[in-house]
Structure 1
Amino acid sequence: MKELKHLNKYFKKYWKKLVIGILITIIARVFQLVLPTYVNKSISVLENTIGSTLTKGEGEDLLLQYILIIIAAALLSGFFTFLMRQTIINVSRHIEFDLKNEVFDHYQRLSLSFYKQNRTGDLMNRISEDINQVRLYSGPAIMYGMQTLTLFVCLIPLMFIKAPTLAMYTLLPLPILSVLIYQISKVIHKRSTVVQEYLSSLSTFTQEVFSGVSVIKAYSLEPQTNTDIGVLALEGKEKSMNLAKVNAWFFPLMILLIGISNLFVIYIGGKQYINGEIGVGLIAEFVLYVNMLTWPVAIVGWLTSIIQRAEASQKRINAFLKEQPSIKNTVEERTPIFGKIEFKNVSFTYEDTNITALKNISFTIENGETVAIIGKTGSGKSTILDLISRLYDVSSGEILIDNKPINHLNLINLREGIGAVPQDAFLFSDSIKNNIKFGKENATDDEVITVAKKAVVHKNISDFAGGYDTVLGERGITLSGGQKQRVSIARALLKNPNIYLFDDCLSAVDTETEEEILNNLKTASKNRTTLIVSHRVSSAKNASKILVLEDGKLIQEGTHKQLNSVNGYYKELYKNQLLEKEN
């Protein structure tokens, strides 16, 4: 159970509620122990009344008194059992809440490279199914475990006090049961881990199918997808059945051994009764004791299974929580961002692919300057923007923001000072208004409309039946590619940062709309450092500086006029795009 030690901090946090819950559990079980004793006494009253030791009136009075005590004890036991669930189960829900928040906070701290190496389905399974298994351990397992322990501690000594020989034979099957449970639990642990890993694979597959359903339909891949999910489901069934087969041994074994205990009670107790050593009421009392032990003993198997599953799940959670973000905030004090950017001999290689995206790049962008970055696909344009946002750290060289090394800046302040529009515009499944306000949560409706007009998307939004309150589908699927890009631009404009990063965010709009947006951006980003990545010269020609990249190297730098006056990549690209426009 070493992996479950991670939960100790939560048990410490809620120790008062747990202690109260444990005390209530003990009280509930003590009241339950009253029942067999007074059943014994009731039967003794009947024997004494029939044997004329007691008068009929005395016997009836005593019998009624004992029955009322039995009823009161049962009601009190039930009441405290209810309170027990209200305390211990509630604690498990609090722990579930805290653990999910811990995992989610850790998700947010991890770097972009982590998400490239892990699948969404697996990450979702850890925060849902795995944590649910841990919750069962932190609540129901503790509750039923304390019930079982309390009964064993109170009941077994009581049985030996009342009838040592009968108690010995009655409890004889229990050590055998303990050994069997121990052996089976080891197998359960291994198979539980396999099942949890499979559930992650299934979650990943289904999540990818739902996200890529348009591609599946476009290529008529439904039959193949059904076949794949069928194979995966069959594999999962086999793994789950292997676990279920082991779990299936528990209850039959327990019922068998409890049955043997009952036979011992009847046979040994019967012999002692015949010999005049005990009364028939004590036999009835022991039968009740054995049946009271039936559920606690049976629950040992269930508890073992729960603990083994929780151990397997917590191990997966711990492995993830041990992951350290490659990008760390090393500065606590605030470091405001103004906008000067300088690259000094920067090279960068992606760890996951080992592709060198930038090779010894150097340039300077002054505060308030607008710079365009041009180049072929894979030339390193987007990588420059990612490095400025510090989504990655450079492999060699140095990036300076406002003359300070980028890793000497407060990471939160750095990103707060940047308004980024990615190449693949991402919108949340929320209203269009809230998607734009993601850049500034307290923005007014007028501010939202103003930036939407600047991004030339206001008319499109107004045409929707719900207007700005239109709720988008997952990943903004309700909108076209160009509309998503323009909503993302509006989001960045609303943030009003000191640095704008536009990563080929006009690729899905026509040239006329592009020209209008660029003119609006020129006004909106005045006195703001702006970087525009594009494949089109039309997006770059009005920039105060243009950087031309090829295979990760900076091959040209200058204004549109300067670059178009010399033979090179930029002049050739401009000439080709002019011909395309004319055609």
Structure 2
Amino acid sequence: MSALSHLNKYFYKYKTRFTIGVIITIIAQIFTLYTPKLVGDSIRTLEQLSTLHKETVISLLGQNIFWILVTTLIAGFLTFLMRQTLIVMSRHIEFDLKNEVFKHYEILTQSFYKQSRTGDLMNRISEDVGKVRQYVGPAVMYSINTIIRFAVVLTQMYLISPLLTFYSLLPLPLLGYFIFKLSKQVNIRSSEFQSNLSQLSSFTQEIFSGIRVIKANAIEKEKQEEFKTLTQESKEKKIRLARISSLIGPLMIFLIGLSNLVVISVGAIMYFKGQIPDIGIIAQFILYINMLTWPVASLGWVSTMIQEAEASQKRINEFLDVKPEIYNTVTTHTSIEGNITFKEVTFTYEDTGIKALNNVSFSIKKGETLAILGKTGSGKSTILNLLARLYDIKEGSIHIDNQLIKMCNLVDLRKAIAFVPQDAFLFSDTISNNIRFGKEDATQEEIINVAKKAAVHDNIITFNNGYDTVLGERGLTLSGGQKQRVSIARALIKESPILILDDSLSAVDTETEETILKNLEKHSKDITTIIVTHRISSAKNADKIIVLDNGTVIENGTHDELIAKEGYYNELYLKQLSEKELA
């Protein structure tokens, strides 16, 4: 149970609720002891029927029945309180654990998400946490209940007859051995099933995300066969787990039945030998043994839950133990104005070994605009990733406002950047809320204002619900150009000192592009702007332009300076100019 030790901090957090639950359990178990004793007394009363008056016997039996009902009701009510205390505690722990996992997901770096599948991440925060909840709730509750009941009942049995107690408990070592053996198999098979479930979740998530591509290529049948194979494997693993788990319950019942037989046979012999005074004791012992039936039977169930929780918590710990490569080195607030300097920056992606940047240097002052051009894979997006400190460099230096980027508060740095990615991501929410994502307290007037600057307002008001239109998953309701423009509006409303556009005008026509660029020019007078683009039209008005090729700056200057050089930039300009004329 080493993996489950991670949860001890939560037991400590809810120690008051846990302690109250244990106390209630002890009191409840004490009240359950009265029933066997009262039943034994009733049998002794019936044995004295020949020596006592009939009315006296009936009166004594009535009193016993009354107290059996009272003690049973009290024990039942206390058991209800026990569940309310311990099971509710488990829900609080489930809530805390999910938040812990989610918070850790948020701080993990890009390299982690490149190596992990979405379905697996979702499965660990849902299915695996659910298995762990079974441990901190039902498993712990029934374990406490079992331990206390055993302690209370066995003490009472020993006080009545140590010898009969010894014989009635003989099957228990056998029980422990079988539970140990079966639990090991449950752990192994549970891990296999949960791992397969993650694969199934990942596959399903990818199918839903790429359904348009699947339909476009008419490969529904092939994907259905793949899904069928995965679900068949999942079914087989679950059946293997169920087979081994299903052995535990019948085994427990068999051993309890064996204990009952021992009590009856040994008890009868002891009664005839005069070692126990009356048959009522045998009846008491049978009831005591049967009081242990559910706790003993639950041992198998609890054991299964613990083994499954152990396997699930181990999978959760694998992620929680991953240390983020990027972390905040500064606790004090960092004020960022927008001056950026790259000095001889060289960067290689560790997971692929690809050298993305080689000795790249440039600088931008607050309020200036930098355009970055280059072929696919030239290193444009890498510059943006390094600027947001999604990766750390090992060669060269990056300065923000004349201080090393590592010496900037990471939260302040990222808040200071309004980023518009090439692949615009929108949430399944209203258009207003998608834009408001950049500024939670933004007014409707501010939303409309930035939508106009992004040249998307006229499109939005044509929708039936306007700004209250709910978008499909990932913004599927909108066209590619509309998604990009809504993302631009989201970035503009943030009013950050640094604005980054990562080829975010690629899906709009040239006329709309010019409108947006003119609006951005007015909007970003005091904002440092970086535009990554393939179009000369997006770059020509920038204060500085750099051209990348295989991670190296091959040209830099203004639009006019680069045209005069007659290099890559000039060739691209002439090519795009001729394409525009032909269009």
Separation in structure 2 between the aligned mates of residue 47 and residue 28 of structure 1, nearest angstrom: 30
Cα deviation, residue 268, structure 1: 2.2
Q: Name the residue aligned to 1:538.
A: 537
Q: Distance in 2 between matches of 1:410 and 1:196?
A: 39
Q: Which residue of 1 aligns with 2:87?
A: 89
Q: Show the counterpart of 1:288.
A: 287
Match of residue 253, structure 2, among 252, 255, 259: 255
Aligned match for 2:219, one of 218, 221, 225: 221
* Partners of 1:387 and 1:157 in 2: CA distance: 68
Secondary structure at 2:529's aligned position in 1? strand
CA separation in 2, counterparts of 1:370 and 1:85? 63
Q: Of the candidates 244, 247, 254, which is equivalent to residue 242 of structure 2?
A: 244
**Paired residue type of 2:91:** R
Which whole-Å CA distance do the structure 2 matches of 1:260 and 1:103 have between them?
46
Give runs of aligned pairs for residues 15-54 of structure 1, distance below 5 A: 15-49=15-49, 51=50, 53-54=51-52
State the alpha-carbon separation in 2 of the partners of residues 315 and 266 from structure 1. 46
Q: Secondary structure at the residue paired with 2:40?
A: helix
CA distance in 2, matches of 1:278, 1:248: 41
- The whole-number CA distance in structure 2 between the counterparts of 1:208 and 1:47 is 74
In the TM superposition, residue 444 of structure 1 has moved relative to its aligned partner by: 0.5
- Is the partner of 1:439 in helix, strand or coil? coil
Q: Which amino acid aligns with 1:23?
A: I
Alignment-derived partner of residue 146 in structure 1: 144
CA RMSD in angstroms, aligned pairs only: 1.2
1:13 counterpart residue number: 13
SS in 2 for 1:565: helix
Write the deviation string for residues 102-155 of structure 1: whole angstroms up to 9, x where unpaired.
111111111111111111111111111111111111111111011111111111
Deviates more, 1:455-464 or 1:162-171: 162-171
Per-residue CA distance 1:249-279 (angstroms, 9 max, x = gap): 1112111111111212222223334445442
Can you list the C-alpha shifts for 1:454-485, whole angstroms capped at 9, x where unaligned?
A: 00001111111111111111111111110110
Cα deviation 1:219-255 (Å, max 9, x = unaligned):
1111111111111111112222222221121112111
Task: Give the drift of 1:447.
Answer: 0.2
8 Å CA contact 1:189, 1:312 repeated in 2: yes
1:200 maps to a residue whose letter is S
The 2-side partners of 1:17 and 1:527 are apart by 56
Report the more deviating stretch, 449-458 or 173-182: 173-182
Q: Which amino acid aligns with 2:155?
A: P
What is the aligned partner in structure 2 of residue 507 from structure 1? 506
Distance in 2 separating the partners of 1:22 and 1:40: 29
Query: What SS does the aligned partner of 1:272 have?
Result: helix
Secondary structure of 2:470's counterpart equals coil
Moved more, 79-88 or 165-174: 165-174
1:389-433 CA-partner distances (Å, limit 9, x unpaired): 111112311111111111111111111111110111111111110
Aligned to 2:405: 406
Contact map agreement 1:358 1:552 (CA 8 A) in 2: yes
Please give the per-residue CA displacement for 1:72-95, whole angstroms capped at 9, x wherever unaligned.
011000000000011011111111
SS of 1:347 mapped into structure 2:
strand
User: Is 1:380 aligned to residue 379 of structure 2?
Assistant: yes
- How far apart in 2 are the matches of 1:47 and 1:445? 87
Superposed, 1:28-427 pairs within 5 Å as 28-49=28-49, 51=50, 53-276=51-274, 277-427=276-426
Measure the CA separation in 1 of the matches of 2:351 and 2:326.
15
Separation in 1 of the partners of 2:129 and 2:563? 60
Which stretch of structure 1 is more off in the superposition, 185-194 or 58-67? 185-194
List aligned pairs for 1:453-472, cutoff 5 A.
453-472=452-471
Q: Partner amino acid for 1:38?
A: L
Cα distance in 1, alignment partners of residues 13 and 551 from structure 2: 52
> Tell me, what secondary structure is at the counterpart of 2:292?
helix
Q: CA deviation at 1:503?
A: 0.5
- The whole-number CA distance in structure 2 between the counterparts of 1:548 and 1:241 is 59
Match of 1:432 in 2: 431
Q: Is the 8 A contact 1:457 1:483 kept in 2?
A: yes
Give distance in 1, aligned partners of 2:288 and 2:277: 16
Is 2:542 the counterpart of 1:563?
no
Identity over aligned pairs, percent: 58
Q: Measure, in 1, the Cα distance between the counterparts of 2:25 and 2:208.
A: 46
- CA–CA separation in structure 1 for the residues paired with 2:350 and 2:211: 30
Q: After the TM superposition, which of the residue ranges 440-449 and 287-296 deviates more from structure 2?
A: 287-296
CA distance in 1, matches of 2:228, 2:205: 15
The answer for the alignment partner of 2:3 in structure 1 is 3
Q: How does 1:436-451 map to 2 (within 5 A)?
A: 436-451=435-450
Contact 1:110 1:324 in 2 (8 A): yes
The separation in 1 between residues aligned to 2:526 and 2:162, in whole angstroms, is 92
Runs of 5+ unmatched residues, structure 1: none
Measured in 1, the distance between the counterparts of 2:249 and 2:407 equals 62
1:21 partner amino acid: G
Task: Provide the C-alpha distance between the structure 2 equivalents of 1:443 and 1:289, rounded to a whole number of angstroms.
Answer: 68
3-state DSSP of counterpart to 1:397: strand
- Count of aligned residue pairs for this structure pair: 581
What CA deviation, in whole Å up to 9, does each residue of 1:434-457 have, x standing for no partner?
A: 110111100100000000000000
Give TM-score scaled by structure 2 length: 0.98
1:163 positional shift: 2.7
2-structure distance, mates of 1:556, 1:120? 40
Tell whether the 8 Å contact from 1:272 to 1:278 is kept in structure 2 after alignment: no
One-letter code of the match for 1:78? G
Deviations 1:474-504 (A, max 9, x none): 1111111101100000001101111110000
In the alignment, which residue of structure 2 is the partner of 1:552? Answer: 551
Partner amino acid for 2:8? N
SS in 1 for 2:499: strand
1:423/1:504 contact within 8 Å kept? yes
Q: Give secondary structure in 2 for the equivalent of 1:357.
A: strand
3-state DSSP class of the match of 1:500?
A: strand
Q: Is the 8 A contact 1:436 1:491 kept in 2?
A: yes
Of 16-25 and 151-160, more deviation after overlay is shown by: 151-160
CA distance in 2, matches of 1:123, 1:259: 45
Cα distance, 1:338 vs structure 2: 0.7
What SS class does the counterpart of residue 500 from structure 2 fall into?
strand
Q: Are residues 1:521 and 2:514 paired?
A: no
Equivalent position amino acid for 1:269 in 2: G
Measure the CA separation in 1 of the matches of 2:487 and 2:94: 35
